[in-house]
Chains A and B, each alone.
Chain A
Amino acid sequence: MEAFEELANLDRLIHEPARLAILTALSACRKVDFLFLQRLTGLTKGNLSGHLMKLAEGGLVEIGKGYVGKIPNTSVQLTDAGRTAIERHWEQLAQLHSEATQWHPSE
Chain B
Amino acid sequence: MPGETQLERLRYVAGHYRDLQGLILVPFGLMHFVSSLQNGGRLWMYAGDCGWRSVWIGLAVLLAWLAKTYYERTVGRAWPAIRAGGSYRGLMMVIGIAFVLGFFAAPWFDYVVRPPISATALVIAALALTLHVAIRGKFHVHYLYLALLYVAVSLLPLTGQVTTLQLVKDPVLFGVLYGLPWVVGGLGDHIFLMRSLKPIPREAVDGSI
Contacts A28-B14, A29-B14 given; does A38 touch B201 at CB 8 Å = yes
Interface flags, B58-80, vs A, CB<8A=1, else 0 = 00000000000000101111111
CB closest chain-A residue, reference B201: A38
A21-B7, A29-B14 in contact; A39/B1 too (CB < 8 A)?
no
Whether A40 pairs with B197 at a CB distance below 8 angstroms is: yes
- The distance in angstroms between the C-alpha atoms of A71 and B73, with both chains bound, is 11
Q: Given A15-B1, A17-B2, A45-B201, are A38 and B76 also a contact pair (CB < 8 Å)?
A: yes
Closest A-chain residue to B6, C-beta based?
A21
Alpha-carbon distance A72/B196, docked complex (angstroms)? 26
A45 to B76, CA, bound (A): 14
Q: In the complex, how many residues of chain A place their beta carbon closer than 8 angstroms to a beta carbon of chain B?
A: 30
* B90 → chain A closest CB, angstroms: 21
Which A residues form the contact surface with B (CB < 8 A)? 15, 17, 20-21, 24-42, 44-45, 68, 71-74
19 contacts between A and B (CB under 8 A): A20-B7, A21-B10, A25-B14, A28-B14, A29-B78, A29-B79, A30-B79, A32-B77, A35-B75, A35-B77, A35-B201, A36-B75, A36-B77, A37-B76, A40-B196, A40-B198, A45-B209, A68-B72, A71-B207
